[in-house]
């Protein structure tokens, strides 16, 4: 057979095989993959689910307010596709201890509804009503915020201190049986209106005048509605361990989850005692008590100057306090007790550790510590003079202050605990002459950038869990704090390598870096590092389907 014939036979054979293969493919090929349409796709990011687990690479698809798909999306088209390769995609952060509300309607969520200081950290939900202080009734405030609206979602606890002040007043006495029943009714009303539980501020008036048994009775009501108890404990200094035990007891006897809020160890005599406070938590958990913790990642606290005043001086409210200040003998006793608190508690044993940040009656004092104020007044910077200065400042209208009285070892120890979430204990802030605590601008960036990425105190994925899935679970929010199909599309996209806080105690009004995109309910609030002006935040209630 010549070569020409062989070549022709080979070509005919290959053609027949090709035809047979085509016929076979036509007979067995599957139906075409259906084309799925999405509103928005975040493509190629590193996905942190909100659980305490390593991230995986993938896509997130959003339709309306909900996450429609995650992972490899297959055949799709989308109205908008954003390439997030090289970036971290995670649930929006939930600040479980926020002071987004302010008594001054020109401040807080009403003064700064864009909440840029929070959005630029990745925060999409704030929970107010902490430390025992909340609006009463909650429904009116919910309506007012919804009418703004705000860029972040807002929820709230109902405050024990506010309820006690409404019914009992500022007096150091137990409630009557009738008053206690009215207090129970207020807790029930708050829960019916959507509170996530009962908060207390047992270091502040009037909460500090309440016996443990009173708080237990009110906590029981919150528990009946499925709520939790969250407490600014009676003491975070010398009586820290007794206060931790009390908080655990309230949850245990009240029959509801209990939380040590902004857990810290204050004052040089107590530094290192976080080991013992956390042991009390672990022992309670072992016997079946549902205990959790939240913390802000700083070694300084912030509140008003009356935190250094003894309880006896605050009995009866401000007018009674002013009367005691006017009495020489009582003023001397008050001064002595304040000196003691400067030495062993939030004063950190040095008046220079108390920095004034908000003095409405004299803004020129903002940013100065007590020693600096005294020297400007040509007075010796002694603890006795500092105590006298505090009396004068409170009499003039009071000030808020930052108190440098903690150490990093306790911060690290508390942060590592598996039941610890991270929260700001801050609010919604904008540029002003107030020398506010940096936690307002930097809490979440500091957690991820400084403590997790740089220091390795906890892994980055654990840090993210502590501000997403963990607080969502604590608040029984089943559709927030996680990247999963059907969840609300509250999403933060961060450049982990660039996350950092720029704020400082000296220059606090500085926005954090590292957030690239932030979505609230599927709408872009921050896009390519630019605020969009969109304010899609909603009121989140415990009574809603979560």
Per the CB < 8 A criterion, the answer to whether 160 and 210 are in contact is yes
Residue 8: the pLDDT is 32
User: Same structural domain for residues 333 and 395?
Assistant: yes
User: Same structural domain for residues 341 and 253?
Assistant: no
User: Same structural domain for residues 282 and 162?
Assistant: yes
User: Same structural domain for residues 92 and 195?
Assistant: no
Helix pair angle (328-344, 318-326), 10° resolution: 110
Decide if 147 is inside a domain: no
Closest by Cα among 450, 477, 475, 476 to 463: 450
Decide if 310 is inside a domain: yes
The domain that contains 60 carries what CATH number?
2.30.40.10
User: Same structural domain for residues 254 and 285?
Assistant: yes
Per the CB < 8 A criterion, the answer to whether 440 and 119 are in contact is no
pLDDT tens digits for 203-213?
Answer: 999 999 999 99
Calculate the dihedral angle through the C-alpha atoms of 279, 281, 287, 288, rounding to the nearest 10 degrees: -160
Decide if 479 is inside a domain: yes
Looking at the DSSP bridge assignments, the partners of residue 422 are 295
Residue 31: the pLDDT is 58
Decide if 5 is inside a domain: no
Residue 20: the pLDDT is 42
Point out the domain boundary residue: 422, 454, 469.
422
Count the domains in the chain: 3
User: Same structural domain for residues 101 and 250?
Assistant: no
Per the CB < 8 A criterion, the answer to whether 80 and 74 are in contact is no
pLDDT tens digits for 484-509?
Answer: 999 999 999 999 999 999 999 989 99
Q: How far apart are the first and last CA of the chain?
A: 81
Decide if 148 is inside a domain: no
Point out the domain boundary residue: 404, 437, 452.
404
User: Same structural domain for residues 250 and 267?
Assistant: yes
- Which whole number is the average pLDDT over 322-350? 94
Decide if 50 is inside a domain: yes
Decide if 15 is inside a domain: no
Q: How big is the CA angle at 492 (ends 489 and 495), to the nearest 5 degrees? A: 150
User: Same structural domain for residues 218 and 163?
Assistant: yes
The domain that contains 267 carries what CATH number?
3.20.20.140
Domain coverage including residue 77? 33-130+426-535
pLDDT tens digits for 46-94?
Answer: 999 999 999 999 999 999 999 999 999 989 999 999 999 999 999 999 9
Cα–Cα distance between 415 and 462 in angstroms, integer? 10
Decide if 187 is inside a domain: yes
The answer to whether the Cα torsion of 288, 294, 299, 301 is positive or negative is negative
User: Same structural domain for residues 418 and 448?
Assistant: no
User: Same structural domain for residues 332 and 269?
Assistant: no
For every residue of 515-531, DSSP letters joined together read EEEEEETTEEEEETTEE
User: Same structural domain for residues 207 and 339?
Assistant: no
User: Same structural domain for residues 68 and 126?
Assistant: yes
């Amino acid at each position: 057979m010549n070569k020409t014939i062989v070549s022709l036979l080979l070509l005919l054979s290959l053609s027949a095989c090709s035809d047979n293969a085509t016929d076979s493919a036509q007979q067995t090929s599957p139906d075409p993959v259906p084309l799925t349409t999405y509103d928005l796709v975040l493509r190629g990011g590193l996905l942190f689910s909100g659980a305490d687990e390593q991230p995986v690479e993938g896509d997130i698809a959003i339709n309306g307010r909900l996450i429609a798909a995650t992972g490899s999306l297959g055949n799709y088209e989308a109205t908008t596709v954003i390439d997030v390769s090289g970036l971290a995609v995670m649930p929006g952060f939930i600040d479980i201890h926020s002071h987004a509300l302010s008594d001054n309607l020109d401040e807080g969520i009403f003064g700064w509804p864009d909440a840029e200081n929070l959005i630029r950290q990745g925060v999409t939900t704030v929970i107010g009503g902490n430390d025992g202080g909340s609006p009463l009734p909650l429904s009116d405030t919910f309506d007012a915020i919804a009418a703004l609206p705000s860029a972040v979602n807002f929820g709230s606890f109902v405050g024990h201190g506010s309820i006690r002040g409404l019914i009992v007043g500022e007096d150091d006495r137990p409630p009557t049986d009738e008053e206690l029943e009215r207090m129970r009714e207020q807790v029930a009303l708050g829960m019916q209106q959507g509170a996530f539980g009962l908060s207390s501020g047992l270091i502040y008036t009037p909460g500090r005048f309440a016996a443990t048994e009173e708080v237990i009775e009110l906590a029981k009501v919150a528990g009946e509605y499925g709520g939790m108890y969250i407490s600014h404990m009676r003491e975070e200094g010398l009586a820290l361990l007794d206060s931790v035990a009390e908080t655990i007891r309230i949850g245990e006897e009240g029959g509801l989850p209990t939380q040590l809020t902004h857990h810290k160890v204050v004052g040089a005599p107590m530094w290192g005692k976080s080991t013992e406070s956390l042991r009390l938590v672990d022992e309670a958990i072992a016997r079946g008590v549902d205990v959790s913790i939240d913390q802000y990642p700083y070694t300084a606290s912030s509140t008003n100057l009356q935190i250094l005043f003894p309880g006896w001086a605050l009995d009866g409210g401000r007018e009674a306090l002013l009367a005691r200040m006017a009495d020489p003998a009582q003023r001397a006793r008050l001064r002595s007790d304040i000196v003691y608190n400067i030495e062993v508690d939030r004063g950190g044993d040095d008046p220079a550790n108390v920095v004034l940040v908000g003095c409405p009656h004299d803004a020129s004092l903002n940013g100065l510590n007590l020693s600096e104020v005294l020297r400007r007044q040509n007075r010796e910077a002694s603890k006795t003079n500092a105590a006298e200065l505090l009396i004068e400042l409170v009499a003039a209208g009071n000030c808020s202050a930052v108190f440098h009285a903690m150490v990093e070892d306790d911060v690290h120890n508390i942060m590592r605990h598996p039941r610890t979430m991270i929260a700001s204990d801050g609010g919604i802030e904008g540029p002003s002459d107030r020398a506010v605590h940096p936690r307002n601008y930097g809490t979440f960036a500091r957690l991820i950038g400084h403590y997790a990425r740089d220091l390795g105190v906890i892994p980055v994925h654990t840090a993210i869990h502590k501000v997403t899935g963990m607080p969502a679970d604590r608040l029984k929010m089943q559709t927030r704090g996680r990247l999963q199909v059907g969840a609300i599309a509250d999403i933060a996209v961060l450049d982990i390598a660039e996350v950092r806080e720029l704020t400082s105690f000296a220059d606090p009004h500085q926005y954090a870096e590292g957030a690239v995109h932030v979505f609230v309910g599927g709408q872009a609030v921050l896009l390519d590092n630019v605020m969009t002006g969109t304010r899609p935040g909603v009121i989140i209630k415990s009574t809603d389907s979560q």
